[in-house]
Amino acid sequence: MNNSTRILFFIFLFCFLVCPVFSQEWSVLHQFNPAQTLQKIEFHNKDFGITVGSLYNGSTKNIHITRDGGKTWMDVSSGYTSMRFMDIAILNDSVMYMSGNNGIIIRSTDGGLNWKTLTTNVTEQIWGIYFIDAKIGYAVGSNGLIMRTNNAGNDWEIRPSGTNHLFYKVTVTSSGVCFASGSNILLRSEDGGDSWQAVDFFPFEPPADWIRSIQFVNDQTGYACADIGRIYKTNDGGKTWYRLPSITQEPLFELHFLDENFGMVCGFNGTILKTENGGMSWTPMTSPLGNEHLYSIDLIDKDNGYICSHFGNVLQLKNASDIDDESNDNSALMLYPNPANDWIHIHAKNEISDKQKHQATLIDGHGHVLLNFEIQEFSRLDISNYPVGIYTILVEGDLSQIMRFIKI
């Protein structure tokens, strides 16, 4: 690094350390025990949210509810063990639905405390569920399944889709146009779901375009994401779509836009991307879980959001200035120097026993895993070959901790 570059970097460093920081970071909010795959997370407002997992230990308490923005969670029985639930639809503080395997749809009318199984008369996987009001809802799934209810889920009628493709998601625009997206297919209905037609102008590309998530922010503007890092957009109400630039090849599972410009998407191997210009460019964000798959994202506003993961973690989006200092006196590990040049040292404040698990992962600012190593009572890490930037060390197990440092 030459002198002029070093001076500029230290100016940046001063601003980073001293000035207020408004960058956004994801941190681990909660991990459910036992570990379970959390397929979907949905918040009705900043306080009330639900996530649902797949438990295989005989327990039926695979629904998790928070009423305080994720600070505490209550485990609730779905009535099923070893059941995979894939989607959540929250209508209000009292009424909500979930869809899962074997044609199962369950409903709660008391804020998620108790759930009742509804009659669907199908056995397909129901991947997506969406309600436009208290009475009318849609559900989609495997083998080309599209269903509609006109009486709050008490009865469901199958609507012909004309295909056996798997459908992942169903959504309805504010003007009432319905869309069902899935495995190399996107259907559209303009008559409330009575009949469905293929969207002719969608740039499907081999080998696969599994459209796992679709959302409209208004009548004209919509977004969709698929496998192999593909992200799509429409500006004419879903009649024609075009592919947006993307910076990943990872399968993308869900996107959430707050308006025409600001949105995020999550997917395999810890992928989190953010756009502030309607998808014309994307910025990678770091997952504190490294390469753990991320299945669902829900944004409350531009500064607050949640993600659920493959091994039962819930992530929370916060401004960097709001995140607690992981190097405080209550931490089990101390990292120094920070900033660092060639070496960093990690010191355990208490003696580490041979029985303790203390694996660590070094992650760069783009979320790439650089190194897996074991924490000792005194550890020394060579960072001389890494470029200038901000790095994260994720420590798992008994010494669970997140540490960040700046390489200069």
* 98-116 per-position pLDDT tens digit: 999 999 999 999 999 999 9
DSSP conformational letter for 59: -
Alpha carbon 309 to its chain's center: 7
- The rounded mean pLDDT for the chain is 88
Residue 248's identity, in one-letter code, is T
Tokens 């639900």 map to which residue? Answer: 50
Question: Is the Cβ–Cβ distance between 282 and 256 less than 8 Å?
Answer: no
CA-to-CA distance for 346 and 379, rounded, in angstroms?
Answer: 5
Q: Are 287 and 294 in contact (CB under 8 A)?
A: yes
What is the rounded distance in angstroms from the CA atom of residue 269 to the CA atom of residue 256?
18
The pLDDT of 240-258, averaged and rounded, is 96
- C-alpha torsion sign, points 29, 31, 37, 41: negative
Say whether the peptide bond before residue 206 is cis (omega within 30 degrees of 0). no
SS3 category, 129: strand
Q: Which of 322, 347, 379 is the last residue of a domain?
A: 322
pLDDT grade for 8, boundaries at 50, 70 and 90: very low
| pLDDT: which is higher, 342 or 155 | 155
- In a shared domain, residues 342 and 217: no
Q: Would you state the torsion angle of the CA atoms of residues 292, 407, 396, 81, taken in this order, to the nearest 10 degrees?
A: -20
Owning domain of residue 110: 23-322
Label residue 251 by pLDDT band (50, 70, 90). Answer: very high
Domain count, the chain: 2
pLDDT surpassing 50 at residue 211: yes
Q: Which of 322, 342, 370 is the last residue of a domain?
A: 322
Q: Can you give the CATH number for the domain in which 390 is found?
A: 2.60.40.3080
Q: For residue 349, what pLDDT band results from cuts at 50, 70 and 90?
A: low
> Over 90: is that where the pLDDT of 10 sits?
no
Q: Mean pLDDT, to the nearest integer, of 367-392?
A: 85
pLDDT confidence bin for 351, thresholds 50/70/90: low
Over residues 286-331, the pLDDT tens digits come to: 999 999 999 999 999 999 999 999 999 999 998 744 444 344 445 6
Q: What is the CATH number of the domain that holds 168?
A: 2.130.10.10
Q: Is residue 191 part of a domain?
A: yes
Phi-psi region of 254 (alpha: psi -120 to 50; beta: other; left: phi over 0): beta
Residues 337, 316 share a domain? no
Order of strands, sheet of 401-407, starting from the edge strand that comes earlier in the sequence: 369-374, 359-363, 389-395, 401-407
> How is residue 84 written in tokens?
């995979």
| 259 & 166 share domain | yes
Same structural domain, 255 and 356 = no
pLDDT at residue 354, rounded to an integer = 57
Contacts of 403 (CB under 8 A, 6+ apart): 326, 327, 331, 333, 335, 346, 392, 393, 395
Residues 6+ apart with CB under 8 A from 199: 179, 186, 187, 188, 238, 239, 241
Listed in sequence order, the residues at least 6 apart from 178 whose beta carbon sits closer than 8 Å to its beta carbon are 138, 170, 171, 172, 188, 189, 190, 192, 193, 196
Last residue of a domain, one of 287, 322, 357: 322
Q: For residue 395, what pLDDT band results from cuts at 50, 70 and 90?
A: confident
- Specify whether 295 is located in the same domain as 335: no
Taking alpha carbons only, the member of 277, 200, 290 closest to residue 238 is 200
- Please name the residue that has the structure tokens 């012909």: 160
What is the reported pLDDT for 87? 98
Spell 72-82 as b/e; 16+ CB within 10 A means b. Answer: ebeebebebee
Does 235 lie in the same domain as 157? yes
**Lowest-confidence region among 202-206, 359-363, 403-407:** 403-407
